Structure 1
Amino acid sequence: MGAELKGVAIVTGAGSGIGLAVAQRLARDGFTVVVNDLTAERAEEAAVSIRAAGGQAEAVAGDISREADVAAIAALADGLGPCTVLVNNAGYVHQARFIDLTAHDFDRMVAVHVRGTFLCTKAVLPGMLARGAGSIINMASQLGQIGGIELVHYSAAKAAIIGMTKALAREVSASGVRVNAVAPGPINTPLVQALSEDWRRAKAAELPLGHFGEPEDVAGTVSFLASADAKIYVGQTLGPNSGDVML
C-alpha cells in the first residue's frame, strides 16, 4: 500500500493535548477530521479551531469504552467519506500506589485504553479492509515499555495496546491496512500536568534531553505514520520520548 491516504481521519480524545495537536496536524495534511472527545464542548471547540485554520472537521462527543458511542462516531465518519485513518488516542492518567488501587480504578483504565481501542478499531476496520487501504495508529506510552511508579494500571493498559498493535498488524497488513503505535514519553499536556510536581521533576531529571516533549512532537510522528512515507511500517511502536526509551 504505497498510495497517499486522504479522506476521513478519526481522532479520539482530540479535545486537548496530544489529540488536539494530532487532529490539527492531520487537518493540515488534507484529511477531514472527526474530532471526538468525552465532552461535546471540548470536541466542538477543537473542530472550530481546525475550521478557523482552513481545515475540515466535525465534532462528536462520546465515551469510546461504550459501543453505542463508538457507533455514533463511526456513523459520523461514514457520512463524510471513507475513513482512511484512525488514531486511537483517547485516554487518561490516574496516579496511585499499587496497594491503594481499587478494582474500579483498574477496570476503568483498561476500559478506556484497551476496550476503547478495540471498539473503535472494530468499527472502522471492515471498511478499510474492503477498500484495501487504511492506517490505524494506536497511542501507547513509553510506560507500556518500561513501567512507571504509581502508574501500574496505566502502564499495563498501554502495554496491552502495544501487544494489540503487533498482533493486528500481523493479521491485516497483507490486506493493505497498516497498524502501528506511538509511545510518547512525558509530554506537556493537561494530563501530565495533573501528576504530582515531585513525579514530574524526578521524571524530567531521568530524561537524556532533560525536558518533556510538546504535543506537536507527537503529532508529527502520527502524521508520518498516516502518510505514504510510512508504507513499510507495520506493527511498529515509534517513540517520541526525549530518550526515555532507546530501542
Structure 2
Amino acid sequence: MTKFSLKNKVALVTGGGSGIGKAISLTFAKQGAKVHILDFNLDAAKETVNDIIALGGASEAHQCDVSNQSNVNSIINTITQKDGIHILINNAGIAHVGNVEAVEEADLDRLYNVNIKGLYNCIKACIPSLKASGGGVILNLASIASSVGINNRFAYSMTKGAVLTMTYSIAKDYVADGIRCNCMSPARVHTPFVDGFITKNYPGKEEEMFENLSKTQPIGRMGKPQEIADLALFLCSDEASFITGSNYAIDGGFVTLNGN
C-alpha cells in the first residue's frame, strides 16, 4: 500500500502554473490525484497540465483571477459538475517590498484582493463540495512573515498574517464537517519569482544577492519548491488525518534560530 496516496482525490491548486504551485501540482498528480490548475496565466497552467499528462496523470487548466468572486465561482461550479473536490491548495499570492511609508493605497488594495480576498473566494466556493464529499483538506500558503517581523514587508506581512488567522478560523468552524484546514509558512524558496526579483532590483549583482538572500536562513540556503510540495503532500494525505488548525514552518530555522 502506497503511503501518502491521493488516488481518487480531486485537488485544486491556485497559482499552479509555476514555482511552489507547480511543484505541488506535479507531486499530487504523481500520487494519483486529479489536479485542476487555477492560474491567472493560462499558458503557464497549460504547461503544468502537459507535464502532468506526460507523467500519465490527469489534470485540467483554468484561467482564474482569484480576486474575482464571480470568476472563481464559475470555475468551481464547472469543476464540481463533473468532479467532487477533496483538496484545495490556496497557493496564489503576490509580494510587495516596502515599509508602511512606501505602501500606496493601490498597493494595499492589490495585495488584499489577491492574498486575502482570493483565499476567501476560493474557500467559500469550495466548502459546499468539500462537505458533499464527506470532508476534505484546505491548505493555505502563509509565510514566515505571518509570525515574525520582516524588514520592508509591511503590506505583504499584513496579508500573510491574515492567511494564518483565516486558517485557524476555518479549522474551528468546519472540524465537525470533516474538513481539515492547515497552513504552511515557508521562508525564501528558490522560484522563478526570486530570480526575477533579483534580476530586476540588483542588475549585475545577481550572484552576490542570491548568496546574501540564501544566508538569511540559518540552514544557509533557500528552500526548494519540491520540499514545500512534499510537506503539502503529507498534510493533504490521510496520514495527516489528525492534523488541523496548525501552522507548519518550513523555513530553514528562520523563525526559531535567527537571533539565538
What TM bracket, shorter-length normalisation? over 0.9
Contact 1:207 1:243 in 2 (8 A): yes
Task: Say if 1:213 and 1:157 are closer, same or farther in 2 by CA, change over 3 A.
Answer: same
Q: Deviations over 1:124-166 (max 9, x none)?
A: 1112123321000001111111132121111110110000000
Shift, 1:91, TM fit: 0.8
Contact 1:133 1:176 in 2 (8 A): yes
Q: CA RMSD in A?
A: 1.9
Equivalent residue for 1:224, pick from 227, 234, 246: 234
Shift, 1:61, TM fit: 0.5
In 1, Cα distance between equivalents of 2:70 and 2:55: 31
Tell me the residue number matched to 2:122.
Answer: 120
TM-score between both structures, scaled by the size of structure 2: 0.89
Tell me the residue number matched to 2:205.
Answer: none
SS at match of 1:146: coil
TM-score between both structures, scaled by the size of structure 1: 0.93
SS at match of 1:180: strand
Tell me the residue number matched to 1:92.
Answer: 94
Shift, 1:183, TM fit: 0.7
Task: Say if 1:237 and 1:164 are closer, same or farther in 2 by CA, change over 3 A.
Answer: same
Matching residue's letter, 2:152: E
Contact 1:8 1:80 in 2 (8 A): no
4+ aligned runs moved over 3 Å, structure 1:
3-6, 195-203
Gaps (5+ residues) in structure 1? none
Q: What aligned pairs does 1:200-219 form with structure 2 within 5 A after superposition?
A: 201-219=211-229
Tell me the residue number matched to 2:15.
Answer: 13
Matching residue's letter, 1:244: F
Contact 1:206 1:244 in 2 (8 A): yes
Deviates further, 124-133 or 41-50: 124-133
Contact 1:8 1:77 in 2 (8 A): no
SS at match of 1:245: helix
Tell me the residue number matched to 1:42.
Answer: 44
Matching residue's letter, 2:183: A
Aligned length: 245
In 2, Cα distance between equivalents of 1:21 and 1:232: 25
In 1, Cα distance between equivalents of 2:218 and 2:105: 35
In 2, Cα distance between equivalents of 1:181 and 1:30: 22
Larger Rg: 2
Tell me the residue number matched to 1:179.
Answer: 181
Tell me the residue number matched to 1:241.
Answer: 251
Shift, 1:12, TM fit: 0.2
Q: Deviations over 1:47-80 (max 9, x none)?
A: 1111111111000011100012212331342144
In 1, Cα distance between equivalents of 2:247 and 2:216: 21
Contact 1:18 1:216 in 2 (8 A): yes
Q: What aligned pairs does 1:147-158 form with structure 2 within 5 A after superposition?
A: 147-158=149-160
